[in-house]
Amino acid sequence: MWLGRILGALALSLAAIVPATAAAASLQPIGDFDQPIYVTSDPGNPERLFVVEREGRIVQVRAGAESPFADLTAAVGCEGSCGGERGLLSIALAPDFDSSGRLYLDYADDRDGTIHVAEMRAAGDSAPAASLRDVLTIPHGEESNHNGGQLQFGPDGYLYISTGDGGGSDDQHHNAQNLASLLGKILRIDPRPGGVLPYSVPSGNPFPGAPAPANAIWAYGLRNPFRFSFDRAGGGMVIGDVGQKAREEVDYAPPGSPPGANYGWNCREGLIEGPFTDTGCAGSQASDFVSPVFDYPHEDPGGEAAFGCAIIGGYVVRDTALGALDGRYLYGDLCSGQIRSLDLGAPFASDRSEQLTVGRLNSFGEDSCGRLYTVSGAGRVSRLVGAQPTVCPLARSFTGIKAASRRVRRGRRALITAYVSPCANRRGEAIGLYLGRRRVAVRHLNLVCSARFRPRIGRRSTFRAKIAADAGFEASTSRRLTIAPRRAHHR
The mean pLDDT of 77-102, rounded to a whole number, is 93
Are 311 and 240 in contact by the 8 Å Cβ rule? The answer is yes
Residue 57: its pLDDT value, please?
98
What single-letter DSSP state applies at residue 246? S
Percent of the chain residues topping a pLDDT of 70: 94
Look at residue 320 and give its three-state secondary structure: helix
Q: Which residue has the higher pLDDT, 430 or 194?
A: 430
Dist. CA 354–CA 268, nearest whole Å = 29
- Is residue 15 pLDDT above 70, yes or no? no
| Ranges of CATH 2.120.10.30 domains, the chain | 23-385
Closest of 388, 236, 386 to residue 315, by C-alpha = 236
pTM summary value? 0.81
Q: What is the mean pLDDT of the chain?
A: 92
- Is residue 294 pLDDT above 50, yes or no? yes
Dist. CA 333–CA 319, nearest whole Å = 22
Closest of 117, 108, 116 to residue 142, by C-alpha = 108
Residue 469: its pLDDT value, please?
86
pLDDT in tens, 340-396: 999 999 999 999 999 999 999 999 999 999 999 999 999 999 999 999 999 887 777
| Ranges of CATH 2.60.40.2470 domains, the chain | 398-486
Instruction: State which CATH number among 3.40.220.10, 3.40.50.300, 2.120.10.30, 3.90.1150.10 fits the domain covering 23-385.
Output: 2.120.10.30
Dist. CA 158–CA 174, nearest whole Å = 28
Look at residue 9 and give its three-state secondary structure: helix
Residue 177: its pLDDT value, please?
96
Closest of 152, 136, 162 to residue 91, by C-alpha = 152
Give the confidence band of 10 by pLDDT, cuts at 50, 70, 90.
very low
Dist. CA 79–CA 86, nearest whole Å = 12
The superfamily (CATH) of domain 398-486 is SoxY domain (2.60.40.2470)
Closest of 268, 239, 240 to residue 170, by C-alpha = 268
- Is residue 18 pLDDT above 70, yes or no? no
| End-to-end alpha carbon distance in the chain | 104
Residues 6 or more apart whose Cβ sits within 8 Å of residue 43: 93, 94, 95, 96, 97, 98, 368, 422
Give the confidence band of 21 by pLDDT, cuts at 50, 70, 90.
very low
pLDDT in tens, 70-80: 999 999 999 88
Residue 19: its pLDDT value, please?
45
Look at residue 322 and give its three-state secondary structure: helix
The mean pLDDT of 173-183, rounded to a whole number, is 97
Give the confidence band of 7 by pLDDT, cuts at 50, 70, 90.
very low
Q: Which residue has the higher pLDDT, 471 or 339?
A: 339
Q: Which residue has the higher pLDDT, 182 or 278?
A: 182
- Is residue 425 pLDDT above 90, yes or no? no
Give the confidence band of 491 by pLDDT, cuts at 50, 70, 90.
low
- Is residue 12 pLDDT above 80, yes or no? no
Residue 489: its pLDDT value, please?
58
Secondary element (H or E) of residue 52:
strand 45-53
